[in-house]
Chains A and B, each alone.
Chain A
């Protein structure tokens, strides 16, 4: 823990004089020093655009079937082909980006709040609160994530809301560990001690002094976590436990249930797999670069 405390201290000192706005500086540094991170950011940006403008740019409606054009490989009307119901794959990929991002960002937002709450409270109050909270987190992390999420989704029933909340809860509990570790070391710094000496209450110290310094870590955890959340959503939809049809999702398009169709039309498997890999790659690279730029302490690998 000693090395972490030193690392945090230096970062806090570096961040202390608000000479340049760090959130602008990060992007400048990204373009200058991190080509892969920039590539990731571009991929994420393309995905975002596709998701937001899906209604405008998609050539067809996502549930529009055409029985005369089933299993089209690739042609001028259907650039990426069609599926067993004659639905346009490009359209469904574009709308699929929307679900991936909605669920991804939604779950990460829910999860970040939960992780911060759990992590900061557990670290701040310490002692018994910390001991029991952490045993709870231990217990949660003992479950293979997919097993637990599959069970819960099966019980709750597949829906976009359920999967967002469930993935958010899982993300939050898991990452509260990292937030807790950072909050623990910040809690011991002298300026927190002096705030307490000045008579600040628990809420003021936790929100006013600890939270702002945990923020960069939260951002890093959130961006690096997005790819995992998107991938988990895809695995659940792949198994038929995510967002229900007819709404297209990448995992659902790749689905286990549709395996038989793919022998006739391999592009049904290839395009969603490529889209998913690209998205995960983009978020991974962006997350890694942001981590290096925001949090030198976590550098490596």
Chain B
């Protein structure tokens, strides 16, 4: 166990290194005309040379890399936005709670829907309920969330004269008002993400229900509710949890579009607006921070499995 944990932690070092290399290389692919537009369209620097110097592109590659990583590791210096001239990390931390709240609410919606429908479908295998659930899951998989989001914004405003609230209220100011604003985006995004969860819940529960200890539970005369919810569900939930963990990048990536459509001032909107303004220092740092967070999250998930589930053994 201890050896596994150590090994798993050690493996994140090369992964984080590659994460930084990907971001670094990505920024160096910038073709000349993008730099030109940054100078001419947004006046980020007086001349092309000045911009290249400011971005540190005039020095040898390895010096650029070491300097950049060194600044992050030793001083927590992620650079400044060209647009606001503010430190990027401050803006990121200021906006992160919005994205985190959206992600958590989305996960809540998709897990509640996915697990409930999945349990019903598995418990009533090959009945109308099962088929309905499976068809719904396929539909949820097929409808693109941004299409659904656009329809949810557009159609009610035409039919019922209802428009989403565009002014954001932080949770700490007015929790109720905040939840009202977040509910629709979280529902739209959550519903489209419930499909895979429902499918994996159903197949995992079907697997567990065929096991011996479940037969024992039945033969003790326990009620169906007790057998499924108390005995089977615990084990069947493991793949569901790992799916949610694996899909974290999707939840965060999707938040860019959802935040852009519903005008939620989170990290996604920050990133999207930075792209529009060719504010590449922001683009670079947001990519790096989020990828590093995902690496950390995956590490925690893997380690917690090893602690929680004694059946999981690694060599």
Contacts and interface: CB of A to CB of B under 8 A. Distances in A.
B66 interface: no
A154 B26 CA distance: 11
B106 to A, nearest CB: 13
Nearest to A241: B275
Interface string B275-305: 1001010011011001110110010000000
A301 B26 contact: no
B200 A142 contact: no
Contact of B199 (A143, A154, A301): A301
B256 A150 contact: yes
Given A259-B150, A259-B154, A262-B150, A147 B271 contact: yes
A141 B249 contact: yes
Given A136-B18, A285-B138, A263 B261 contact: no
B19 interface: yes
A263 B142 contact: no
Contacts of B291: 139, 142-144
Contacts of A152: 26, 29
A235 B249 contact: no
Interface residues of B, number: 60
Given A154-B275, A156-B31, A301-B203, A135 B14 contact: yes
Contact of A147 (B34, B253, B298): B253
B159 to A, nearest CB: 9
A155 B294 CA distance: 23
Given A156-B31, A273-B148, A280-B144, A147 B26 contact: no
Interface in B226-281: 249-250, 252-254, 256-257, 260-261, 271-272, 275, 278, 280
Contact of B157 (A227, A234, A263, A284): A263
Contacts of B271: 147, 150
A207 interface: no
B40 to A, nearest CB: 15
A54 interface: no
A272 B146 CA distance: 11
A146 B254 contact: yes
B154 A269 contact: yes
In the A-B complex, the 3 residue pairs with the closest CB atoms: A144-B253, A139-B18, A273-B147
Interface of A: 36, 132, 135-136, 138-148, 150-152, 154-157, 227, 231, 234-235, 238-239, 241, 254, 256, 259, 262-263, 266, 269-270, 272-273, 276-278, 280-281, 284-285, 300-301
Interface of B: 11, 14-19, 21-22, 26-27, 29-31, 33-34, 138-139, 141-144, 146-148, 150-151, 153-155, 157-158, 199-200, 202-203, 249-250, 252-254, 256-257, 260-261, 271-272, 275, 278, 280, 283-284, 286-287, 290-292, 294-295, 298
27 contacts: A138-B295, A139-B17, A141-B249, A142-B19, A142-B249, A142-B291, A144-B252, A148-B22, A148-B26, A150-B256, A151-B283, A151-B284, A152-B29, A154-B278, A231-B144, A235-B146, A238-B257, A254-B146, A254-B147, A254-B150, A256-B260, A256-B261, A259-B261, A266-B151, A276-B147, A280-B141, A280-B143
